Amino acid sequence: MPELPEVEVSRRGVAPHLENQEISHVIVRDHRLRWPVSAELEQLGGAHISQVERRAKYLILHTSKGYVIVHLGMSGALRVVPAETPPVKHDHVDLVLTSGFCLRFNDPRRFGCWLYSKEHPSLAHPLLCELGPEPLTDVFDADYLFAASRGRQQSIKTFIMDNHVVVGVGNIYANESLFKAGIHPKRAAGKVSKQRYQKLVPIIKATLAKAIEQGGTTLQDFTQVDGQPGYFKQELMVYGRGGKLCMACSGRLKEIRLGQRSTVYCPSCQR
């Protein structure tokens, strides 16, 4: 599943081809995505695209006729191709530009979305207006996270993965960050000290920033027909390593389910 770093790398890949371009028309081959593709998108001919923004795992296209909200879901991918390129299976949406190129959306599992919002979706759209801060901004700091956690009985791992608390800390990043910070994933969020949040927050930021950077260096040419945005090979210390040896203490890593998500930790390094 594309996580925040993959979405940010997708944004960086497609933005130069979209910004300051004009939409010719929109082709919807299959409306049946996670939610039906907004009919308004087919009225966007002649609109000017000023910006491609990312908020959480949503891409927001700012156009002179409103906003397009794109989510990659479980298996979505965006490419910029010459508009006459024949579509292949699962190519559900084309945003055709007057430049002769199009932004093409392929999504085999159809959990992605293409929605329209007249107002900026961060203010007006139910999917976006209640999201917590972006993890890589200054608003997300130890003071904020500590204050937000007071009185919370839920586990620290579930807490940092809650999009109302902070967006974009997916399961892999939560596992890795808690290991690096030495915090037991089941510890109650409200019982984690300020000092430990001061350690955890920079680790979360660094983990996500590193993934974006790795994605950037392996960034495929988004204008190639077969240019799949990469899902980054991470150097993972705990995720996917349940039962293997801890890289820090050589003890055995434990794997449990927490909030229905695979959770791997070191019982000696994480308290």
| Active site annotation includes 2 | yes
Among 48, 28, 217, smallest CA distance to 107 is for 28
Mark whether 57 is an active-site residue: yes
Q: Can you give the three-state secondary structure of 160-219, one letter per residue? A: HCCCCCCCCCCHHHHHHHHHHHCCCCCCEHHHCCHHHHHHHHHHHHHHHHHHHHHHHHCC
Distance between start and end Cα atoms, the chain: 29
Question: How near is the Cβ of 182 to Zn ion at its closest, in Å?
Answer: 9
| Residue of 28, 246, 258, 264 that binds Zn ion (CB under 5 A) | 246
Could you tell me the two tokens for 2? 């594309």
Instruction: Count CB neighbours of 128 within 10 A.
Output: 21
Q: Does 206 bind Zn ion (CB under 5 A)?
A: no
Residue 3 is a catalytic residue: yes
**Smallest separation, CB 251 to Zn ion (Å):** 5
By beta-carbon proximity to Zn ion, the closer residue of 1 and 248 is 248
Based on the shown chain and the rule CB under 5 A, indicate whether residue 266 belongs to the binding site for Zn ion. Answer: yes
255 among known catalytic residues: no
Cα separation, 134 vs 192, in Å, equals 21
Q: Annotated catalytic residue: which of 57, 79, 104, 157?
A: 57
Contacting Zn ion (CB under 5 A), which of 70, 102, 115, 269? 269
Select from 248, 254, 259, 262 the one that contacts Zn ion (CB under 5 A): 248
Here the tokens at position 40 are 């308004």
Instruction: State the catalytic residues.
Output: 2-3, 57, 261
Q: Which residues bind Zn ion (CB under 5 A)?
A: 246, 248-249, 251, 266, 268-269
